[in-house]
Amino acid sequence: MKNAPFHLSLPCSSINETKAFYVDVLGAEQGRNSHLWLDINLFGNQITFTKSGEFDFSFKSYKFENTILPSFHFGVIIDRETWNLLYKKLVASSYEITTEVTFLKQQNGEHRSFFIEDPNEYTVEFKCFEDANEMFEQ
Superfamily of chain region 6-134 = 2,3-Dihydroxybiphenyl 1,2-Dioxygenase, domain 1 (3.10.180.10)
How far is residue 16's CA from residue 34's CA, in Å, rounded to a whole number? 11
Position 87 scores a pLDDT of 92
Q: Tens of pLDDT along the chain (138 residues)?
A: 567 888 888 888 888 988 988 888 777 899 999 888 999 898 788 989 888 766 666 667 777 788 777 777 778 888 999 899 889 988 988 888 888 899 889 988 999 999 988 766 778 888 999 998 888 787
Position 21 scores a pLDDT of 82
In the chain, where are the structural domains located?
6-134
Position 6 scores a pLDDT of 85
Position 111 scores a pLDDT of 92
pTM over 0.75: no
Position 24 scores a pLDDT of 87
Q: Which residues pair with 116 in a beta bridge?
A: 97, 124
Position 83 scores a pLDDT of 92
- Cβ neighbours of residue 79 under 8 Å, at least 6 residues apart? 1, 128, 132
Position 56 scores a pLDDT of 63
How far is residue 96's CA from residue 91's CA, in Å, rounded to a whole number? 7
Position 58 scores a pLDDT of 64
What burial class does residue 9 get, using C-beta atoms within 10 Å of its C-beta: 0-12 exposed, 13-18 middle, 19+ buried? buried
